[in-house]
A and B are shown apart, each in its own frame.
Chain A
């Protein structure tokens, strides 16, 4: 391979870690990660689709047992938390650090509310004896067993993602306060935002599949 040399530039060797920040590269990395997340959830949606088509009557009945009110409240909470997250990202871009911090905190609080409501939903089911491998559930039809198993697994893994989101947001809040995340360097916060919107989108599909299609 023929090589030219650009000796006028880069005469000194810059360290890899101190190199300029590749903003586009960081976002490409995050989008690729979200693709993997999509396929991770995709496996669960595939199971849902297969079993729903196999047991339509049982899924129909079981979905009516869900608490539509709590589900709807949670949907609203999560949707508005996506808005506050987007505001937090825009705010730091325009150098409104305090607003950004405030909005990140609101997002985190919403996420916590979501999990608390989820706790009561799960709690109500478990107190009725409906959870995987419980004798009450195993006495039900096979379609019901699968519906509630899918419900616990899918909302559980989604909830785990919410929990991880809260932890990541706490770290981002710390970085924003310390000025590590600044108007000229907020790829971290933006990527956190992308992640949070992804968690939101998954819920937008989970909500109709478990609560609305009855």
Chain B
């Protein structure tokens, strides 16, 4: 770090007219907002993981820990927390907020006050969802999908949980809107579209999906609340409504939502691969266009969640075909990441380990996605553990690992401290092994016919369930090591330099942690990102 930069105050030291917590909550600084989101996300993630471990425990000894109703509530709440509170907002609101303006050479996002408002909405939405768990009456027991007509009939606190998700949806919409506008309007001089770092491109594609898909979820959730409060029977067959239509509307959002989660995760991988192999990304434009293609085609595949729900054969064949199309750009990305490593000067640090695990696990998740995307096998494995294993490979193995990869990669930049590389690798090892033991055994269980969401597994699946549960313990140990290491580094870690990994994007040109308005002098960009090999 040069002398001039170290004189600049970091954004942690900025003093406003507010003190303490309020100085953070009232801040419009994108870095503070990003860190607050990060803290909230990781807290919810921890709770979600704990509930997941509880589900696994209950499955090896049904009735000993949870009764059947509690089991339904726990897996519902596990889903709601992990999906709506952690993984959908996930990477954009935390790393996106912190890094988007820095990586495009701006001082902040286009609408800083709107950005602060999204944080408040997120916190309020989360509070409402949590309220649904604790106030009088039962926590939601519908599964995270809130399928009608059960969600309209059940006595549990579905209205409140749905309202919370509705508020979270608006937080997500405004974040997307803000990011798209920021990328259009706030790029530094010379930062042309094809000079944008790839993480920014994926945030851009994600922003559009958030804008164009989330409102459909919002209106669908409004229908549920209207059904419960005013007896509007849009999804109630006794009043002429059609429950299948709920599934359509829900998946019109929730399938693109998969890309809201996974696209930024791919963006993080596209940042890490060049930095740790000291090579320019292979096929920059192919990676960009594949991200845009995934975002576009991802809109038209929602029907593959409903192959067994009742659809015409024509519709099923079309949806199945388009599902296969999405695999093409995803494959392009995987090949480009691997090709980036070729003849690179590879430096195996913890961010790269997480990134490589992402590529492996995401490929397993993606390829099994093709099995369930084709009609005949889908009929066999639909509603079994095979599906559960598939989406955990994509969501947790994909997005979760990418989140941790990003956390380790940008940790020195965000907090100005270095963590212990050795502990991070040990944690990664347990996490990776535990993950595969936990979920790969579910592929086998599911293929053999074990249905998902069952409280009491038939005896022939007991040994498989046991293996899977042991995997969940390994995974939990890994996560504990990872987070203890990071928390310890906050207090005792050595000071991080401005560019510990040798990255070439803009965030590595400024001090760690960044100064209040990011750049002392505004950068002018003269070439694309990842210009390794020349100084």
* A1-B529, A29-B110, A133-B232 known; A36-B173 Cβ under 8 A: yes
In angstroms, Cα B27 to Cα A16, docked, is: 12
- Chain A residues closer than 8 Å to B112, beta-carbon distance: 16-17
Within 8 A of A (CB), among B171-205: 173, 176-178, 180-181, 184-186, 189-190
* Contact between chains at A10 and B522 (CB < 8 Å): yes
Cross-chain contact of B216 among A5, A28, A39, A152 (Cβ < 8 A): A39
B220–A145 CB distance below 8 A: no
- Check: A211 CB closer than 8 A to any chain B CB: no
B242 and A42 within 8 A (CB): no
The docked-state distance in angstroms from the alpha carbon of A50 to that of B521 is: 57
Q: Tally A-B pairs: CB < 8 A.
A: 142
- The yes or no answer to A6 lying at the interface (CB within 8 A) is yes
Q: Knowing A22-B185, A44-B219 are in contact, say whether A7-B521 is a contact too (CB < 8 A).
A: yes
Interface residues of B in 498-535 (CB under 8 A from A): 504-506, 509, 517, 520-531, 534
Beta-carbon contacts under 8 Å, A9-34 to B: 9-11, 13-17, 19, 22, 24-25, 28-29, 32-33
Q: Is the CB–CB distance between A28 and B184 below 8 Å?
A: yes
A134–B417 Cα distance when bound, in Å, is 64
- What separation, in Å, do the CA atoms of A84 and B14 have in the docked complex? 47
Question: Interface size on B (CB < 8 Å)?
Answer: 59
A32 with B177, Cβ < 8 A, contacts A1-B509, A44-B219 known: yes
In the complex, what residues of B have CB within 8 A of residue A14's CB? 107
Confirm or deny: A90 has a beta carbon within 8 angstroms of a beta carbon on chain B.
no
Chain B residue, CB-CB nearest to A22: B185
Known: A28-B181, A149-B232. Contact between A4 and B524, CB under 8 A? yes
Total contacting residues, chain A, CB less than 8 A: 51
Chain A binding site: helix, strand, loop or mixed by DSSP?
A: helix
How far does the Cβ of A211 sit from chain B's closest Cβ, in whole Å? 20
Q: Residue A5 contacts which of B226, B234, B524, B528 (CB distance < 8 angstroms)?
A: B524
Q: How far is the CA of A150 from the CA of B222 in the complex (A)?
A: 13
B232/A132 in contact, CB under 8 A: yes
With CB as the reference atom, state the residue of chain A lying closest to B177.
A32
Give me the interface of A with B, judged by CB distance under 8 Å: 1-7, 9-11, 13-17, 19, 22, 24-25, 28-29, 32-33, 35-44, 46-47, 50-51, 54-55, 132-133, 138, 142-143, 145-146, 149-150, 152-153, 157
- Identify 29 residue pairs between A and B in the complex whose beta-carbon atoms are under 8 Å apart, listed by A's number: A1-B530, A2-B534, A3-B509, A3-B526, A4-B190, A6-B524, A9-B522, A10-B521, A13-B520, A17-B112, A25-B185, A25-B186, A28-B184, A29-B177, A32-B176, A36-B173, A36-B214, A39-B212, A39-B213, A40-B218, A42-B215, A42-B219, A47-B245, A55-B240, A132-B226, A142-B239, A145-B240, A149-B232, A152-B232
